[in-house]
Structure 1
Amino acid sequence: MLVKYFKYYFPTFIFFTSLTFRSIISLLTSFVISLYIIPYFIIFFRKKNYSQVIRLDGPKSHLKKNNIPTMGGIVILISFIISILFWSDLYNPYLWYVLTIMILYALIGFIDDFYKIILNNSIGLTIYKKIFLQTIITTTIITFFYINNTDKSALQFIIPFCKNIKIYLNFTTYLIISYLIIIWISNSVNLTDGLDGMAIISIISVIIGLAIISLITGDIKYAKYFNLPYIKYTKELVIICTAIIGSGLGFLWFNTYPATIFMGDIGSLSLGSAIGMITILIRQEILLFIIGGIFLFESLSVIIQVFFYKYKKYRVFLMAPIHHHFELKGFSEPHIVVRFGIISLILLFLALSILKVC
């Protein structure tokens, strides 16, 4: 919005339209907005009794969180969207793919959170209903993108260490890979959202990596240097990433231990879908398993636990997801969160180091 305004009416202040300036200011805008409005939402949610419903079979230490407001993801979305409307190029089609899937996944999360509050249980939507809704949204958006895409580079499958091998995906393969990535990461982020601050710290770490890669793939010189395909519209994804980082940092201010608000499924599902969509747009599906390793560990721990208990009647972990296992082993919540955060940063550096390897 403001990008076009400054460009046409104040050409002297063209620096306002530069990517560097807009990236920084979008981060600060979303951060300040979320920091300002969250206290009002906390008061409102407390009055309406929109509180977190704690699973009774979880760690006993979590029972004290039963009256903490949830659905804080609404604040993340509001601050993010306002920042995007001000500082992004609204004519960039990639922006709308990310924004659309975030809003639609947020609606699923809202329904899920609302069911939990109304029914006063920790289940909400059944996994089958949730996956069904996610499937409709994901396949529709991916199909629309594939049909309307004119850039062959945007359909490449990139293999780290083998970036000279160019694999162009047909519709079926592209749809399957994109679908699995978005479904996996969105639900994995949801699983990770179990300790104060842990999910949002991991999200911010992943988004920082995606912002850097978006900048590289959206610039011809950088893309050539890193031996990555140049994709025309990805540079604007940097603004989306910095806006998410800013709103996430504002939320973390209140979500850090002891948390005064939780993001709920409305936050975890929408942010997870954004990570998935951005990853697909910049063609880094494999790299996501490294940079988002924390989410991979969390989801794998659940799969392993369910598999072994169903077929062997044996529990590999004291409780899944794996962060609950460490809680029951005696580790304090802040220790687990900080250590998982350190691992997230290490995985971020590892993923970025791989970019230059041919």
Structure 2
Amino acid sequence: MLYWLLYQKLFPYVSPFRIFRYLTFRTAFASLTALLIGLFIGPYVIEKLREFQIGQYIREDGPQAHQKKAGTPTMGGVLICISILLPTLLWADLSNPFIWLVMLSTLGFGAIGFADDYIKVVHRRNLGLTSRAKMGYQILVSTGVAVALVSMQTQGNYSTELVVPFLKRFHPALSIPVLAHLPHLHLLAFLPFIAFVVLVVVGSSNAVNLTDGLDGLAIGCTIVAAAALTVLTYVSGHVVFADYLELSRMPMVSELTIFCGSMVGASIGFLWYNAHPAEVFMGDVGSLALGGAIGTVAVAIKQELLLPFIGGIFVLEAASVILQVGSYKLRKKRIFKMAPLHHHFELMGWSESKVIARFWIGSLVFALFALTTLKLR
């Protein structure tokens, strides 16, 4: 809105307002706006959550040291969503369809998390939506994202081809060419792409959700992942950098840099209250929204295959759960003392603060590796 008012409407009359056309300027201000919103309205949100007795219920089979956290206000992800979406609305070009796609995806996954958290609070238990319902809603939202991207491809604003790191000339098409020429079966031609997007976005959302088990762990890793996505989004839309790095230039996705900057600022603002010992937990409304946002941005900028490195800790956490469940069902034996992975290290004797700090370091290493691949293509 501010971009529309200050640049598109007032710039012809007030020349200094031309600064608002610069993406880097608006991204910096979006990040600062998100940070300030989080810091200033955080106490109010936390107080309201306490007032409504929206407290966290702790799983009984987890580390016993966590039982003292029972009753800590949860659903703080509402604060994260506000802090991301409001600055994006203020500083982004709202005529850009990618902005609306990512914001609606974030809202959709946030709504699923909100419903899950609300049921937990109402029934005073650690179980919300059934796993089938939760997964079904996630698939529905991510399918909507995929269909929207297919629509953008037909308009020439997107490509459903896969970008493979280290193989810059290998771009497999995630479509069925035979069906693409048949008007009534046009959407069916992109079923491989739709299935791939669903896998990426749903996987990203659940991976962040599984990581959210210690104070500040998930939000700290999100700061690193969002910062890496900010860089990747900017260079993907910049004519000079995209040409130098031999990336497929996508001018319209560069506006998502503002969304990613807002995500960084909002995450830092939330970490202020979520740092150990946490005053508030993000809940599923926050973790699902953040994971959905990260996955959607990665798909939009064609960096899906870099996502396992951008969010390396998230992947390890999700993998630990899959391996633990699979091993127990097949062999009746556990690989880890407890899954997700952060609980395994807690039970090994690491303090909560040490686990968090070391996982943050790991997240940073993964993200830096992801950025180094830009020139190694």
TMscore range, shorter length: over 0.9
1:191 paired with 2:238, answer: no
Partner of 2:11: 10
Aligned to 2:135: 131
The more displaced of 38-47 and 162-171 is 162-171
2:266 equivalent to 1:261: no
Q: CA deviation at 1:79?
A: 1.7
1:157 matches 2:162: yes
Residue 310 of structure 1 deviates from its aligned partner by 1.0
What secondary structure is seen at the aligned counterpart in 2 of 1:233?
helix
Task: Give, in whole Å, the separation in 2 of the partners of 1:155 and 1:337.
Answer: 37
Aligned counterpart, 1:77: 81
Q: CA deviation at 1:16?
A: 2.2
In structure 1, the residue matched to 2:93 is 89
Q: 1:304 and 2:323 equivalent? A: yes
Provide the C-alpha distance between the structure 1 equivalents of 2:89 and 2:273, rounded to a whole number of angstroms.
25
| Cα shift at 1:169 | 2.4
CA–CA distance in 2 between the matches of 1:318 and 1:180? 28
Matching residue within 107, 128, 132 for 1:103 = 107
- Residue 168 of structure 2 is aligned to residue 167 of structure 1: no
Residue 203 of structure 1: aligned partner: 222
- Maintained 8 Å contact 1:105/1:266: yes
Code of the residue aligned with 1:182 in structure 2: it is: V
Residues in 1 aligned to 2:336 and 2:150: alpha-carbon distance in whole angstroms: 41
Identical positions, percent: 41
Q: CA deviation at 1:152?
A: 6.8
2:30 pairs with one of 14, 26, 32: 26
In 2: Cα distance, 1:216 partner to 1:156 partner? 19
Letter in structure 2 aligned against 1:100:
L
Name which of 247, 250, 266 aligns with 1:231: 250
Is contact 1:138–1:182 with CA below 8 Å preserved after alignment? yes
SS of equivalent to 2:110? helix
**In structure 2, the residue corresponding to 1:39 is in which secondary structure?**
helix
Task: Tell me if structure 1 keeps the 8 A contact 2:101–2:148.
Answer: no
Q: Which residue does 1:64 correspond to in 2?
A: 68
Q: Distance in 2 between matches of 1:119 and 1:143?
A: 36
The alignment partner of 1:167 has SS state of coil
Task: Give me the whole-angstrom Cα distance separating, in 1, the residues matched to 2:304 and 2:254.
Answer: 18
User: How far apart, in 1, do the equivalents of 2:110 and 2:158 lie?
Assistant: 30
Mind listing any 5+ residue stretches in structure 1 that lack a counterpart? none
Query: For each residue in 1:245-295, what CA deviation from the matched residue of structure 2 results, as whole angstroms up to 9, or x when unmatched?
Result: 111100000100000000000000011000000000111111111121101
Give, in whole Å, the separation in 1 of the partners of 2:152 and 2:260: 23
Report which stretch shifted further, 181-190 or 284-293: 284-293
**Residues 350 and 63 of structure 1: CA distance in aligned 2, closer, same or farther (over 3 Å):** same
SS at match of 2:20: helix
| Cα shift at 1:153 | 5.2
Using the alignment, how far apart are the partners of 1:238 and 1:145 within structure 2? Answer: 18
* AA matched with 1:10: F
Report the CA distance between 1:182 and its aligned residue: 0.5
Q: CA deviation at 1:210?
A: 0.9
Letter matched to residue 76 of structure 2: G
- The aligned counterpart of 2:309 is 290
Which amino acid is 1:98 matched to?
V
Q: Is residue 2:217 matched to residue 1:217?
A: no
Deviation of 1:6 after TM superposition, in Å, equals: 1.5
Which amino acid letter does the alignment assign opposite residue 299 of structure 1?
A: A
Contact 2:57 2:124 in 1 (8 A): yes
Distance apart, 1:173 and its partner CA: 1.7
CA contact (8 A) 1:71 1:267 kept: yes
Structure 2 CA distance for aligned equivalents of residues 303 and 196 of structure 1: 23
Q: Partner of 2:184 in structure 1?
A: none
Asked whether the equivalents of residues 59 and 126 of structure 2 are also in contact (C-alpha less than 8 Å), the reply is yes
CA distance in 1, matches of 2:29, 2:11: 18
Partner of 2:29: helix, strand, or coil?
helix
Which 4+ residue blocks in structure 1 deviate beyond 6 angstroms? none
Q: How many positions carry a matched residue from both structures?
A: 358
- Distance across 2 between alignment mates of 1:234 and 1:181: 18
TM-score (norm 2): 0.93
In the other structure, the counterpart of 2:290 is 271
